[in-house]
A and B are shown apart, each in its own frame.
Chain A
Amino acid sequence: MKTLKFGEISRVEGEGSVTLHKNGDQLESVELRIFEPPRFFEAFLQGRDFSEVPDITARICGICPIAYQVSCSLAIERAFGMEVSPEIESLRRLIYCGEWIKSHALHIHLLHLPDFFGFADGIEMSRVYPEEILRGLRIKKAGNRLMEAVGGRAVHPINLRVGGFASAPEPRVLQELVPTLDAALEDAIAAVHWVARIEFPHFEPETPYVAMVHESEYPIHQGKLASSEGTVWTDEEFESSIAEIQVPHSNSLHYRLDGKSYQVGPLARFNLNRERLTPIAHQLASKVFEHGPIRNPFKSVLVRAIETVFALEESLKLIANYVPPELSLIVANPRAAVGRGCSEAPRGICFHSYELAADGSVVRANIVPPTSQNLACIEDDLKSWASEFLDSDELQFECERMVRNFDPCISCATHFLRIREGNEV
C-alpha cells in the first residue's frame, strides 16, 4: 500500500488536503483531510440568548453569513410561533440574493475559472483576460453593494435579527442600486455565454441530489426539502433522516441520507428547480444545457453563472416591488420549544435546529452546513476521477480541481458539529 499526501488545497475557503491510498496501480481509497481547527460553535451556543444567535452563527463563515443568519432566525421564529410579514420575507430574500451574487462571482472568477484556463489565480488570469475578470469583479461588487444597503456590511451584516430587521432600508436607498444591478445583469449574461464556451471534461457520476423545492419560485429562503430520487421531507423528517459519521481524517463530520452519500448545492438546486428560474436565466439555461439533469460537477461553474443571472433578475424584481415593512422587527415571546429552519446557502442547504428554554436561551443547537453534507460525495467523485490520472504528473492538480468544483467551505464544515449525548456513533 502506498500513500500519497498532497499539500494544502488552494483557492478554497478553509484548510484541507487530499490523501490517496494506492495498492499497486489500483486506487484503494481517497481522503479529503480537513485539518482546520474546530471552533465548537454548537457547544458555546448553549446558554446564549436567542437574540444573539444570528450574530454568533454568522461568524461560522465570512462568505455566507446570510445563510446562517436566515436559517437560525427561521428556526427560532418557528420555535416561538412568530410570523414575520411577507415584506420582511422579501427583504430577507433580497439580501440573500446579494450573498449568492457575491459568493458565486467570487468562486467563478477568482477561484474556479483559473483551473479551466491554466492559471494559478484570478489575478494572474486578469493579465490575459482583463475584461472577463474585471467583469466578474463588477458582478461581485454589485452583490456586495446590495448586502451593504440591506444589511449594513457585506461580511457579517448587522441588520438581520430574529423577528426581522433592526431597520428597514429606505426605498430610495434600494432604488439607487438599480443601475448597478442592471449593469451587473448584463455582465452576468455575458459571463454565462463566455463560460459556456469552455470545453468541459467528460465526467457524469451518479449521485442523489438534495435541495429545497418550492412550487412557485427558485428556492432560497422557503420550501420543502426534496431529493432527485423523489423523496420529500419536512424539516423534522430531514433532521431524523440524516446520519452523521465521524471519520479519523477530518475535523468535520460526514453526513449520509438513508445510508447514502448525496450532493447539495448549485447542481442539486438546478436539477430540482430548473423550471422555476427567472425568465432570462431560464432561457440561458435552455441555450447552454441539454434537457435532463446536469451531473458533471465541472459544469457547476456554468450553473453558478446562471444562478447569478437569476439572483440579479430576482433582486431587481424585489426592489421594483419593495414596500418597507410597517414593522421591521416583530417582538419575540420566548417559550420552551424546538424549531428548525433551512435555507439555500450559495453552496447548498444550510439546516439549523434549536431547542430553546422558556427564558429564550439555547438548550441545544444542531447546525448542518452544506459543505459537511457534500464531503462524502466529494470523496466518491475524487476516487473515480483520480483513478484516471494515477500515472499522470497532473494527479495533484486534477484532485484539487475536483474538490474546487464543489466550492467547499471548509471553515463552515469544521464550525458546526452536532451535539451528542455520550460518545457513541
Chain B
Amino acid sequence: MNAQPYRPTLAVWKLASCDGCQLTLLDCEDDLLEIAGAVTIAHFPEATSNKQPGPYDISLVEGSVANPATAALVQQIRSESKVVVAIGACATSGGVQALRNFADVEAYKSSVYPYPEWIEATPDCLPVSSFVKVDYELRGCPISAKQLLEFLRAVLSGEKPRFPTYSVCTECKLRGVTCLAVSRGESCMGPITQAGCGALCPGFNRGCYGCFGPCEEANVEAYKKLAGAHDAVRRLKMIVTNFETPKGATQ
C-alpha cells in the first residue's frame, strides 16, 4: 500500500571536459534537491562518494572521447544505460579540445610533455555519437540549465523532450535585440547556430561564437560569404568545431 514510487536511476559521467556542464546541474540550486528527490543518483563522482553499479535508467555524459580509456568507458556506459544523453559541446561535437584534430597530436604531446611516450591520447578527439548510439543531445558550452531541467522533467514524466532546431537569430528577434551584423557589420554566427542560449552574446553586445553548434539548416557557405572576414571564418573552428562537418566525425 505504501509502496515507494519507482525512482529512476541517474548516472553522470565525465570524459575529456572542463566539468562546466556537470556544474550546470549542480547550479540548479532551487531544483537540485527536487531532482535528487525524483531520481536515485546512482553514479556522480563529482558530487558523491556513493557509487552504485549499473544498469542505469538515464546516463548524462559530459566530455569527448580523447584516449583509449574514455573510448572504453563510452562502450561501458552504453551497455549499462537505457537512455544515453550527451551533454554539452564536448560530448556532442568534440568540443574545444577537438581543435587538436586539425593538428598532429604527436607533435602536441612533445610540445607539452618532456616524455610524450607516457601520455596516452588518440589522434582525434570525438563526440560520443562517433562510438555509440546516443538517444538525446543537449547542446551548448555549457548546456543551458533551463534546457536541462525541461529535459529531465520531460523524460521523468515519460514525455518526449523537445529542443529548438531554429537559429540564434530567431532568439534575437524574439528578444528584440538589434542585429549586430546588420547594424554594425559585426561578424556573428547567430544565423548558423542552434538556439538555446537565449541570444546571450548579442544581448551583451557581441557577436555569437557558436557554443550551441550548427542549427538544422545551417548554411555555412552563405555565412562564410557574408562574413567574409578572416576572423569570422576562423571562428567556425573554435569552441565547437563541427560546423563544416556537422556529423562531428573526422575519422
A161 at the interface (CB under 8 A from B): yes
Prevailing SS type, chain A contact patch: loop
Which residues from 88 to 117 on chain A have a C-beta closer than 8 Å to any C-beta of chain B? 106, 110-111, 114
Closest to A103 in B: B23
What are 14 A-B contacts defined by CB distance under 8 Å? A11-B49, A12-B46, A39-B97, A40-B105, A43-B107, A44-B97, A44-B100, A52-B235, A56-B96, A114-B49, A161-B206, A253-B113, A415-B18, A420-B110
Which residues from 1 to 18 on chain A have a C-beta closer than 8 Å to any C-beta of chain B? 8-15
Top 5 nearest A-B pairs (CB, nearest first) are A62-B20, A121-B48, A37-B66, A166-B206, A44-B99
Question: Number of contacts between A and B (CB, 8 Å)?
Answer: 192
- Decide if B29 touches A36 in the complex (CB within 8 Å): no
User: In whole Å, how far is B18's beta carbon from the nearest beta carbon of chain A?
Assistant: 4
- Decide if B27 touches A154 in the complex (CB within 8 Å): yes
User: In whole Å, how far is A17's beta carbon from the nearest beta carbon of chain B?
Assistant: 11
| CB 8 Å contact bits of B51-82 with A (1 = contact, 0 = none) | 10000000000000011011000000000000
B6 at the interface (CB under 8 A from A): no
Which residues from 105 to 144 on chain A have a C-beta closer than 8 Å to any C-beta of chain B? 106, 110-111, 114, 120-124, 126, 134, 137-138, 140-141, 144
- Given known A-B contacts A56-B238, A62-B23, A141-B29, A122 and B111 have beta carbons under 8 A apart: no
Determine the chain A residues whose CB is within 8 A of the CB of B211 once the complex forms: 156
B47 at the interface (CB under 8 A from A): yes
| CB 8 Å contact bits of B163-190 with A (1 = contact, 0 = none) | 0000000000000000000000000000
Determine the chain B residues whose CB is within 8 A of the CB of A121 once the complex forms: 47-50
- Decide if A63 touches B19 in the complex (CB within 8 Å): yes
Determine the chain A residues whose CB is within 8 A of the CB of B103 once the complex forms: 43-44
Closest to B118 in A: A248
A392 at the interface (CB under 8 A from B): no
Determine the chain A residues whose CB is within 8 A of the CB of B112 once the complex forms: 38, 40, 42-43, 417-420
Which residues from 81 to 119 on chain B have a C-beta closer than 8 Å to any C-beta of chain A? 95-97, 99-100, 103, 105, 107-116, 118-119
- Decide if A37 touches B141 in the complex (CB within 8 Å): no
Closest to B48 in A: A121
- Decide if A158 touches B27 in the complex (CB within 8 Å): no
Q: In the complex, which range does the number of interface residues on chain B fall in?
A: 35 or more
- Decide if A423 touches B48 in the complex (CB within 8 Å): no
- Decide if B47 touches A11 in the complex (CB within 8 Å): yes
- Given known A-B contacts A36-B16, A37-B66, A49-B231, A8 and B45 have beta carbons under 8 A apart: yes
Determine the chain A residues whose CB is within 8 A of the CB of B66 once the complex forms: 37-39
| CB 8 Å contact bits of A22-51 with B (1 = contact, 0 = none) | 000000000000011111111110001101
B222 at the interface (CB under 8 A from A): no
Determine the chain B residues whose CB is within 8 A of the CB of A15 once the complex forms: 14, 45
